[in-house]
Amino acid sequence: MSVNRNTATAAHYHESTKHSPMSVRANAHYLDFSNQPLPFKIYSTLEPIMLPREFRQTGVAALSAIAETVRPGGVAIPDIAALAQILYFSAGITRTRKYPGGEIYFRAASNTGALYEIELYVVCGDLPGLGAGLYHFSPAEFALRKLRAGDFRGMLTATTADEESTTYAPATIICTGTYWRNAWKYQARTYRHFGWDNGTLLANMLAIATARNLPSRVTMGFVDAEVNRLLDLDTDREVAFCMVPIGREREPASPKSSSIGPLNLEMLPLSRSETDYPLMREAHAASSLVTASEVRAWRECRTPEAEIAARGASSLAPIDDGDIPRDSIERIVLRRGSTRQFSHEPITYAQLSTVLERSSRGFPADFHHPTHAVLNEMYLIVNAVEGLAPGSYYFHRQRRELEPLKKGNFRAEARFLGLEQDLPGDAATNIFFMTDLDKALETYGNRGYRAVQLESGVLGGKMYLASYALGFGATGLTFYDDDVTNFFSPHAAGKSAIFLMCLGKKLKVAK
């Protein structure tokens, strides 16, 4: 049996990293700011290749960009300006804030604790303005650093078992997770955050690629060791998590690749010392795919969409296409932030319907198929939505309906479930992503855990963008795992809480 099929590992990780009132209060962890990791990976001996900062404005409305998909058709090759635009609006620095101990660099996509543990690398053939090679993206300088010269796309084709979008891609962006940069604050739960934070970043990346009329697709099926070797990663510290082919060539990449060996490049240490959390490294290692045949078999897994009977459900009533706000995806990414305080003001049912409808259409991924279920289900606590009674609801994604589960004011319960923070209690609505984890692991093996977490982040990232496009705020939060399941049971019995998005109008603070 392959290591990926020994699903006890992912199940053990999930169970061991659950939050409860007792576990949170018993945790003596504190933040040592004198040992806080650097927010950037810095190759100290390589010269930066500066990227152009003048972007062609697409004019595509954010609510269209997050909901639509560019189907592969003719040739679509990004030049360096298009690649720079995708990188900037995915992981670039959009603003900074100084504080007594230093400076925070806020990026284009939401990230747990503003720690930004996801790194981006580019593998490309010859593009207009950029030669073939392997590059690391440096947000600090908005630059690329060339790690290897040559065309390595054939190697990616082999590691993905000839996955079509990768095979024909002019460029592929590889996303990695750096354990310590996030574990400094969140300890072993960081591996969940790899999915959330990579996912919110991908929501931006897919939307910008769509706005540039470039096909893109999330690829999670690859031979881990080969991709890590290409990037020359110290896998005790950093690991490849997913990749995104961008664009389309007329012909597939040559199967021949330049030989690769260790790079032995100097890098600045993240901090004075690092604390190891073996549990998350074990979970990642157990979800690795070892051979191309295993990748191919993994990609063929199927979980059909289940039909769940609904009682008294209300159909969504989204804003008509012609009436949606037309602010461009670029403008909304720059406007987006994580809301720190919500007012109790309501949003409308049309606004909530639009968020749900636009963000839940799915996205192109190698673990999504036409007959395939989105792995996460959505449960809501509605506090203040005009046209919808307060209470808890289940969202039927296929039918675009909200089924009432319990009526009543559950602000206090929402606050408790969201780690006893005010945000979910004050928000207009809270959307809990939940999944049948046993079924996901049975279908996909341990790698299904990566897919479930990543998917929740992508869908949550789309909700961020949709909320800001509609003029209100959003934030992602953590939660008390089993208490979420208990609250939504019996409907949610046996399901695991994965992610939480809070939506609502921002509290206006008098200056």
DSSP string for 206-248: HHHHHHTT--B-BB--SBHHHHHHHHT--TTTEEEEEEEEESB
Q: Are 389 and 340 in contact (CB under 8 A)?
A: no
Q: Are strands 377-382 and 473-477 parallel, antiparallel or unpaired?
A: unpaired
Give per-residue pLDDT as tens, 197-248.
Answer: 999 999 999 999 999 999 999 999 999 999 999 999 999 999 999 999 999 9
Tokens matching residue 348: 């409308």
> Taking Cα atoms as reference points, which of 93, 92, 140, 117 lies closest to residue 186?
117
Give per-residue pLDDT as tens, 315-336.
Answer: 999 999 999 999 999 999 999 8
pLDDT, position 264: 92
Can you tell me the distance from the alpha carbon of 250 to that of 72, in angstroms, rounded to the nearest whole number?
11
Q: CA neighbours within 13 Å on the CB side: how many for 178?
A: 21
pLDDT, position 448: 96
pLDDT, position 99: 75
Which residues, at least 6 apart from 137, have a Cβ–Cβ distance to it below 8 Å?
87, 91, 119, 120, 121, 122, 143, 144
pLDDT, position 368: 86
pLDDT, position 72: 82
- pTM of the complete model beyond 0.85: yes
Give per-residue pLDDT as tens, 242-273.
Answer: 999 999 999 988 876 667 899 999 999 999 99
Give per-residue pLDDT as tens, 447-458.
Answer: 999 999 999 999
Torsion angle of the four alpha carbons 366, 201, 447, 289, in this order, in degrees rounded to the nearest 10: 70
Report, as an integer, the average pLDDT of 35-48: 96
SS3 readout for 313-341: CEECCCCCHHHCCCCEHHHHHHHCCCCCC
Q: For CATH 3.40.109.10, list the domain ranges present in the chain.
A: 39-298, 337-504
The H helix count followed by the E strand count for the chain is 18, 17
| Range from 16-20, 72-76, 83-87, 473-477 carrying the lowest mean pLDDT | 72-76
pLDDT, position 96: 87
Can you tell me the distance from the alpha carbon of 331 to that of 63, in angstroms, rounded to the nearest whole number?
12
> Taking Cα atoms as reference points, which of 243, 32, 211, 16 lies closest to residue 124?
243
Give per-residue pLDDT as tens, 171-203.
Answer: 999 999 999 999 999 999 999 999 999 999 999
pLDDT, position 372: 55
> Angle at CA 66, nearest 5°, toward 62 and 71?
120
pLDDT, position 255: 76
Please determine, for residue 42, whether its predicted confidence score (pLDDT) is greater than 70. yes
381 confidence band (pLDDT: 50, 70, 90): very high
Q: What are phi and psi of 121, to 5 degrees?
A: -125, 150
312 confidence band (pLDDT: 50, 70, 90): confident
Q: Which fold has domain 337-504?
A: NADH Oxidase (3.40.109)
- Of the candidate CATH numbers 3.40.50.920, 3.40.228.10, 3.30.420.10, 3.40.109.10, the domain formed by 39-298 belongs to 3.40.109.10
